[in-house]
């Protein structure tokens, strides 16, 4: 008897549940439409005109400089016409126009849905490291989107990417947060949100929003073999976008702090050899004498646990926390020294500009160190005055790269100061030229350099 009535009962339950399911789906669809309607008015299309080389498919013929057009997206973050976008979208721009969606009136039909007004925009400031730029248009009472800074995004969280892929304004795609902490380039300290919401060329600079319509990130690039969306999209986290926005709006550039320490990732052999309390995380490797960290009591070998209350399980998290620190506030650092937990309040100072950028350019024939592919300058009394943070009184400052057929990739950067080559002291360009001239292919070379106030070694082989 039970089997006899089981199927009719189950069918009746399904029939009864069908309207409920339809109602849930309808409510979900309505909610998504309302979200898109809320977000779209604050998202603009960014049209850029710049000069660049004409693409030559066969690689022959003279290069021609032509007018180029590029397109991206942006999001209005202030009703008085401030718009955040990617720095690469507006790089080298001669002219920038933004297309602002016009709101539909009660009497308008669907044929007016694509209406927009064009406004000229200027760049308030940009920063290549974060790939962010702030634009300004002369308008007021514009619709905006807020940054969602209340909590960090979580993997699996539903998000929506809005932009102009292929010039199609206010295209909305849906996906989830694949990872809330991704570092695609190990040599770049920037971290990103990873999402599978479809992102294509033209989405750059548009917002990634959550179900409340708050900005959780700014779409910036994709990883794709074919150039289209493969579900590997990356967005700059809202906290970084907000920090850069406030800095650019205040001064046109981004101010970063430094506290006078050099940090490294902890490895198990390092932890064993130094007797550290843990074999992962971040250890202080160098402390600038008489610098802020030194004055606060931080010592080499201290294991950094958190910066400003943010845990630092990796070097990238340590770097990111300092990157987002406000210049006018004390840096709060918790650390382990053996079994003892310590807290430090470190006075932050503005990061110095890269050395060498304001120096007079010398005679290239005299400053060229050909085997190393660099141009150098003696550190003299004048330079010591210009570079008050220099820890050693002599050496050769790297002004730039000048690679030749026989030069090697050394890893040197403009602003580095070379002090020794294979334990031979270097006090002048002439001494460096002489020491480098006797090197032959296959020779191992170790340079001791000073980079932004910290000593380190660069090792390579001559080719």
* Active site amino acids: 88, 131, 204
Residue 205: how many other CB atoms lie within 10 Å: 32
What distances in angstroms separate CA 15 from CA 21, 24, 26, 170, 180, one per listed residue? 10, 15, 17, 39, 41
CB count in 10 Å sphere of residue 211: 12
Distance between CA atoms of 421 and 436, rounded to whole angstroms?
8
Sign of CA dihedral 283, 285, 288, 294: positive
Under a CB-based contact definition with an 8 Å cutoff, are residues 414 and 376 in contact?
no
CB 92 within 8 A of CB 223: no
Alpha-carbon distance of 338 to 340, in angstroms, equals 5
**Count, residues in the chain:** 463
φ/ψ of 206, rounded to 5, equals -80, 160
Q: Find the Cα–Cα–Cα–Cα dihedral 296, 299, 300, 306, rounded to 10°.
A: -60
Instruction: For 79-202, list the strands marked E by DSSP.
Output: 82-85, 95-101, 116-127, 132-137, 158-163, 171-182, 192-195
- Residue 134 CA neighbour count, 13 Å, CB half: 22
CB distance 393 to 430 below 8 Å: no
* 455/448 Cα distance (integer angstroms): 7
Q: Are 218 and 86 in contact (CB under 8 A)?
A: yes
How far apart, in Å, are the Cα atoms of 66 and each of 30, 49, 51? 47, 10, 6
Count Cβ neighbours within 10 Å for each residue of 17-46 and write b for 16 or more, e otherwise. eeeeeeeeeeeeeeeeeebbeebbbbbbbb
């Amino acid at each position: 008897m039970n089997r006899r009535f089981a199927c009719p009962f189950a069918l009746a339950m399904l029939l009864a549940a069908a309207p409920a399911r339809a109602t849930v789906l309808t409510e979900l669809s309505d909610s998504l439409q309302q979200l898109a309607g809320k977000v779209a008015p604050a998202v603009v299309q960014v049209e850029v005109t710049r000069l660049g080389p004409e693409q030559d498919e066969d690689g022959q013929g003279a290069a021609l400089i032509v007018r180029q057009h590029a397109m991206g997206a942006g999001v209005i973050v202030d009703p008085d016409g401030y718009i955040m976008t990617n720095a690469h979208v507006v790089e080298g721009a001669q002219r920038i126009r933004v297309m602002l969606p016009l709101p539909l009136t009660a009497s308008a039909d669907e044929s007016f849905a694509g209406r927009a007004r064009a406004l000229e925009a200027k760049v308030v400031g940009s920063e290549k490291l974060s790939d962010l730029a702030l634009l300004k248009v002369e308008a007021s009472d514009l619709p905006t989107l807020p940054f969602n800074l209340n909590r960090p995004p979580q993997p699996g969280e539903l998000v929506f990417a809005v932009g102009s892929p292929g010039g199609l304004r206010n295209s909305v795609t849906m996906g989830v947060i694949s990872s809330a902490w991704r570092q695609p380039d190990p040599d770049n300290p920037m971290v990103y949100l990873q999402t599978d919401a479809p992102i294509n060329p033209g989405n750059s600079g548009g917002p990634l929003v959550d179900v409340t319509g708050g900005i959780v990130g700014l779409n910036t690039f994709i990883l794709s073999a074919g150039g289209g969306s493969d579900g590997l999209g990356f967005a700059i986290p809202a906290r970084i976008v907000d920090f850069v926005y406030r800095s650019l709006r205040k001064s046109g550039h981004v101010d970063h702090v430094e506290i006078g320490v050099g940090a490294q990732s902890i490895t198990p052999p390092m932890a064993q050899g130094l007797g550290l309390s843990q074999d992962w995380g971040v250890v202080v490797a160098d402390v600038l004498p008489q610098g802020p960290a030194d004055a606060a009591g931080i010592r080499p070998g201290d294991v950094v646990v958190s910066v400003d209350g943010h845990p630092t399980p990796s070097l990238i998290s340590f770097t990111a926390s300092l990157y987002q620190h406000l210049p006018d506030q004390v840096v709060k650092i918790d650390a382990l020294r053996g079994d003892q937990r310590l807290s430090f309040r470190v006075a932050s100072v503005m990061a110095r500009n890269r050395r060498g950028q304001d120096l007079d350019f010398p005679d290239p024939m005299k400053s060229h160190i050909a085997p190393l592919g660099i141009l150098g300058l003696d550190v003299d009394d004048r330079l010591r005055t210009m570079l008050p943070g220099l820890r050693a009184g002599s050496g050769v400052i790297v002004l730039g790269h000048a690679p030749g057929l026989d030069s090697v990739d050394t890893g040197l950067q403009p602003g580095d100061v070379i002090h020794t080559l294979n334990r031979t002291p270097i006090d002048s360009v002439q001494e460096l030229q002489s020491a480098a001239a006797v090197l032959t292919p296959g020779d191992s070379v170790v340079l001791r350099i000073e980079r932004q106030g910290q000593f380190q070694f660069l090792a390579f082989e001559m080719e």
